[in-house]
Amino acid sequence: MRELPNEFAAARGLAVCHVCGLASPVSAGQCPRCRAGIHLRNRESLQRTWAFTIASVLLYFPANLLPILRVESIAGPQSSTIISGVIQFWHEEDYPVAIIIFVASVMIPILKIIAIVCLCLAAGAGWRPRGMTRLYRVTEFVGRWSMVDVFVVAILVGVVQLGSTISIHPGAGAVSFAAVVVLTMFAAMSFDPRLIWDAAAARAQPAHQD
Amino acid sequence: MPELDEGEKAVCPRCVGVLFTRGRNSLHRTAACAMASAVLFVVANSFPFLTLRAGFRESQMLLWQSATGLAAEGYPYLAAAVSVLIVGAPALLIGGLLYVVMPLLWERRLPGAIPLCRWVLHARRWNMMEVFLLGVLVSLLKLGSLATLMLGTSFWAFLALIICLTAALASIHPRELWEHIDQAHR
């Protein structure tokens, strides 16, 4: 951790518990109120965030290339990927749905991964801390909505059961996609936005300590 | 950290994030909403969620069958994830809130309330019922041409459950909850 100016509690060995918000000495090792482990910043924050982000980038490809759903109806079997689902809604002139799915399943995962990479870089350089913190809050909030496509698969598979004229089966893309969403959530959880402020503070007061 | 009166909030001077709020009658509101959520959770999980009609055939799906259907198709991990997100996390939230908050109304704390409260706070982000709701709406449109889907009793309970559970969690700031737990005696 970087050295902080003295007006910060961290410089005096105090940390706020990340679970219950009580400030107590870091040396205690455990929060006296809720008994969660206590540390100044999330442990190995950047390393963990990078690891989760890289894993989600790798899984992003199968998530989009493999089919998430296979429909067998009288018209014959038909596989659909995330993108082809969006295109189908667009062709059926369900524009609002097409846009919702496109935003939730295509744009949000990509933007979230880009945002987390930006945050990691900002934590190293101390860029624009206020804007970056806002970006972090938005990132944490919107990520969950990407799960919508996985739920659509679950609902369709669950409701269309054997014996109908149509049958619906999940595809391997759905697993990868769910993994991308969960991994990016873990990445956002392990990132500590205070690192950006630490870097900014260190840059504003180079080599000034007492 | 400033002492707040009911209805006030504290804001971080550095990043302008909300640090702490103190609502009016927050414990009572949370307890009431959590009790309502518990009833709705039982209803939402015991009646048909969706009914599919294709030709003369009809099939019904309970809420948790959206997860077991995936397991039956050979996707156990996906099934586990879906059941955690729409059944497991909400159950932990509701049960945990009731166990922690109800005794606090009498300024008491049951054994294990502290670790349970930690779990409840973590479970918040894994509760994705509102995302599932959007999934239901998309599914209705997706199947539109192939079959007819009808919303069951459980769907409406599920909708009300989302509102009640959100209200239960929004009524109390975690920090205030921890202060109450700290002051309660065993």
Structure ipTM: 0.86
Q: Pick from A83, A84, A79, A59: which is nearest to A69 by CA?
A: A79
Q: How confident is the model at residue B42 (pLDDT cuts 50, 70, 90)?
A: very high
Confirm whether B9 is domain-assigned: no
| Residue ranges of domains in chain A, CATH in brackets | 1-40 (no CATH), 44-204 (1.20.140)
- Reported for A80-83, long-range contacts at CB under 8 A and 24+ positions apart, including other chains, are A81/A173, A82/A106, A82/A149, A82/A173, A82/A177
pLDDT band at A210; cut points 50, 70, 90: very low
Greatest alpha-carbon span in chain B? 66
Which residue in the set A34, A97, A144 is minimally distant from B138, CB to CB?
A: A97
Contact partners, residue A124, CB within 8 Å, separation at least 6: A46, A199
Summarize the confidence of residues A100-109 as an average pLDDT. 91
Q: Which residues of chain B neighbour A97 with C-beta distances below 8 Å? A: 138, 141
Q: How far apart are CA B136 and CA A93, in angstroms?
A: 19
Q: DSSP states of A75-116 as a string?
A: TEEEEE-HHHHHHHHHHTT-HHHHHHHIIIIIIHHHHHHHHH
Predicted confidence (pLDDT) at residue B21 exceeds the cutoff of 80:
no
Select from B82, B118, B128 the Cβ nearest to the Cβ of A34: B118
The mean of the pLDDT values for chain B is 88
> Which pair of structure tokens corresponds to residue A208?
């000034």
Sign of CA dihedral B95, B100, B101, B106: positive
Quick one: CA dihedral B19, B122, A180, A68, positive or negative? negative
pLDDT at B3 over 80: no
**Minimal CA separation from B135 to chain A, in Å:** 5
Residues of A in contact with B134 (CB under 8 A): 100, 104, 145, 148, 151
Q: What are phi and psi of B150, to 5 degrees?
A: -120, 140
In a domain, B8, yes or no: no
- Given a cut of 70, whether residue A206 has pLDDT beyond it is no
Write out the E strands in B39-143: 48-54, 57-62
The structural domain count of chain B equals 1
Pairs of CB atoms within 8 A across A/B: 153
Residue span of the structural domain in which B56 resides: 32-168
